[in-house]
Amino acid sequence: LLFLLSFLFHFPCTDSNPSIVVQQNISFYLIQISSYANQSWAQNRGSAWLDELQTHGWDSETGTIIFLHTWSRGNFSNEEIVDLQLLFRVYFSGLTMEVQEQASQFQIKYPIEIQVRVGCELHSGKITKDFLHAAFNGLNFLSYQNKSWVPFPEGGIRAQKVCDLLNIYEGYKETAYYIIREVCPRSLLGILDGAKMDLQRQVRPEVWLSSSPNLQPGRLLLACHVSGFYPKPIWVMWMRGTQEQLETKQGDILPHADGTWYLRVTLDVEDKEASGLSCRVRHSSLRDQDIILYWGHGLSVILITFAVIVPLVLLIVLVLLCKKRCSYQGIP
C-alpha cells in the first residue's frame, strides 16, 4: 500500500502559480463520509465542492470520479485522473480494512462514522490556506498541520494513538501533503474559469406563506418559505410595516438537489395580531426589488375571486336559462 502511494505521489506536478486573479475568496474541498454499520457493512461517500457548489461526486461501486459539470475536469489529463481514482480507491479500501480490524481488536462499538474535510482556500488570487480535518463519530478527531498529524483534544487518547501511528509513516504524510498542496490548488485554479458562470448565476426565490396552530391555544405559527434561490446569502424577516419583528426565527438554509437553497422563517403570534404582518425577502437576484408578501392577502385574493366569479357565473347561467325559456315561448 505504501509503495503504491509513494509511487502515485511521484506523478508529474505542474507549478501552481495562479494565473487568474479573482477578487473574492473561494475554497475547494473534498468531503468524505464513511459509515460502518457492522463488521461486514461499509459505505464510503465522497464529493468535491467549490464553496457551496458541488463539483464532483464519487461512484463507490465503480471507484470512479463523477464530473458534475462540463468544467469539473479542470486541466487534469485522463491519465492523471485515472491515477487519482486509483489513489482514492486504495485509500478507501485500506481505511475500511483498517477500521474493521481496529474495531474488532479494540471492541469499538458499531456504528462508526468517519468524516473528513480537506481543502485549500484562494484569497485575492493566491492560495493562502489549506486544511485537513477528520471527525470520528461526530467529534473532532485529528487534523493535518505542518506535515504531521495532530490530535484534537475531543479525540482523547484514541486520537493521540492514531496520530502517533500515522506519524511514523512518511507515505501517509506525503500523500496528504500531495492532496493538499498539489491536487487541491490545481483543481481550484483549473476549474475556476469554467465555474465562473455557475458561481455567478442568480436565481430568484419563490416565496409563500403558511400557518399552523401553535401548541398554545390562540396563537399561530406563521411560516415564510423562501425556495430555489442562488447564491446562498439571503435576508428574510417578518415585518409589521417597516418594523422588523425581532422574534422572527430563522431555520437552517437547506440545499435543493439542483444546487439552489431553501429557507423557512417563522414567527409565533397571537391569532388576532397576524393581520398586517408581512414577510420581506432581500436577495442579490432581486436587486433592490425586495419581495414582500402580506399575511392574509393570499386568502383575501381568493375570497375576492370567489366573491366576483360565483355571482358572475350564476348571472350567466340565469341569462342563458332565461334566453332558452324565453325563446321556447317565442319571445325574442
Ligand X SMILES: *[C@@H]1O[C@H](CO)[C@@H](O)[C@H](O)[C@H]1NC(C)=O
CA distances from residue 83 to 3, 30, 181, 288 in whole angstroms, order as listed: 14, 17, 17, 49
CA 331 to chain CA mean position, Å: 72
Q: How far is the CB of 284 from ligand X (least distance, A)?
A: 14
The correct pick among 16, 27, 143, 175 for binding ligand X (CB under 6 A) is 16
Binding of residue 107 to ligand X (CB under 6 A): no
Edge-to-edge, what's the strand order for the sheet holding 291-294? 243-244, 235-240, 277-282, 291-294
Whether 59 and 43 have beta carbons less than 8 Å apart is answered as no
CA 2 to chain CA mean position, Å: 34
Binding of residue 284 to ligand X (CB under 6 A): no
Sort residue 100 into left (φ over 0), alpha (ψ -120 to 50) or beta: alpha
Q: How far is the CB of 302 from ligand X (least distance, A)?
A: 45
Binding of residue 41 to ligand X (CB under 6 A): yes
Which of these, 189, 75, 74, 73, lies nearest to 125 by C-alpha position?
189
Binding of residue 249 to ligand X (CB under 6 A): no
Size of the site for ligand X (CB under 6 A): 16
Binding of residue 25 to ligand X (CB under 6 A): yes
Binding of residue 14 to ligand X (CB under 6 A): yes
Whether 102 and 42 have beta carbons less than 8 Å apart is answered as no
Q: How far is the CB of 74 from ligand X (least distance, A)?
A: 7
Interface of this chain with ligand X, residues 146 to 185, rule: CB under 6 A: 146
Question: Which C-beta is closer to ligand X: that of 233 or that of 298?
Answer: 233
Binding of residue 37 to ligand X (CB under 6 A): yes
Q: How far is the CB of 290 from ligand X (least distance, A)?
A: 24
Q: Give me the DSSP letters along 55-100.
A: EEEEETTTTEEEE-STTTTTT--HHHHHHHHHHHHHHHHHHHHHHH
The correct pick among 2, 7, 38, 323 for binding ligand X (CB under 6 A) is 38
SS3 for 323? helix
Binding of residue 190 to ligand X (CB under 6 A): yes
Whether 151 and 136 have beta carbons less than 8 Å apart is answered as no
Q: How far is the CB of 138 from ligand X (least distance, A)?
A: 18
Per CB under 6 A, which region of 9-17, 90-98, 248-256, 266-274 contacts ligand X? 9-17
The correct pick among 2, 7, 62, 75 for binding ligand X (CB under 6 A) is 75
Which residues are near ligand X by CB under 6 A? Answer: 14, 16-17, 19, 24-25, 37-38, 40-41, 75, 123, 146, 186, 189-190
